[in-house]
Amino acid sequence: MDGELNALGYPHVTTDTTQRFEGGCHCGNVAYVFAASAGLDDLGVRACLCRFCRAHGARYTSDPSGAIRIAVRDGAKLRRYRFALKTADFLLCTECGVYVGAMLTATNGAWMTVNVNSFRTPPPLHFPLGPHNFDAEDVAARIARRQARWTPIKEFA
């Protein structure tokens, strides 16, 4: 049933999607279930070339046809960091330091791209990456791209 936690303490997701990825931070303060319509071979894994993402070694995936549910045990230990165009919150656990992904919120919804390094079973380091540079985007283009390509957030509690 949606809203309940599974045996690992992650939010339960009812979905018709084909792939389910559980993850979160190291200490368990931030947990998520990412229900995807395809596997990583089809969704792809991206590497943003900005300084923040490179410093964190972040590798991302998202699925506009999927859904993600996020549970935070202690909101005081969740840091929402914004930089550059300030269009998204980069979610970091202040307890263990793990960067789980970036979240865009707007009046018509919320979307996330998840750092696959925070999956309970992350893809191997040699998994193919598609490098991306988004420096040329303005605020409107960045928001439009994220709303079109990132995963809808179904619950953030």
Q: What is the CATH number of the domain that holds 43?
A: 2.170.150.70
What predicted TM-score, i.e. pTM, was given to this entire model? 0.87
| 14 found inside a domain | no
At 23-64, the pLDDT tens digits run: 999 999 999 999 999 999 999 999 999 999 999 999 999 999
At 73-82, the pLDDT tens digits run: 999 999 999 9
| 12 found inside a domain | no
| 13 found inside a domain | no
Give the separation between CA 84 and CA 44, rounded to whole angstroms: 25
| 81 found inside a domain | yes
| 4 found inside a domain | no
Closest by alpha carbon to 122, among 56, 40, 8?
40
Res. 2 pLDDT band, cuts 50 70 90: very low
| 90 found inside a domain | yes
Q: Is residue 4's pLDDT more than 70?
A: no
Give the separation between CA 132 and CA 151, rounded to whole angstroms: 18
Q: Is residue 67's pLDDT more than 60?
A: yes
Q: Locate tokens 């049933």: which residue? A: 1
Average pLDDT for the chain: 91
Res. 1 pLDDT band, cuts 50 70 90: very low
* Strands 151-156 and 67-72, sheet pairing: parallel
Check: CB of residue 46 under 8 Å from CB of residue 58.
no
| 133 found inside a domain | yes
Q: How many domains does the chain have?
A: 1
Q: Is residue 100's pLDDT more than 60?
A: yes
Q: Please, which residues have CB within 8 angstroms of residue 91's CB and are 6 or more apart in sequence?
A: 30, 78, 79, 80, 81, 99, 100, 101, 102, 103
What is the domain extent for residue 114? 19-156
Q: Locate tokens 């969704």: which residue? A: 43
Question: What integer pLDDT is reported at residue 18 of this predicted model?
Answer: 80
Res. 8 pLDDT band, cuts 50 70 90: very low
| 8 found inside a domain | no
Question: What integer pLDDT is reported at residue 16 of this predicted model?
Answer: 53
At 109-130, the pLDDT tens digits run: 999 999 999 999 999 999 999 9
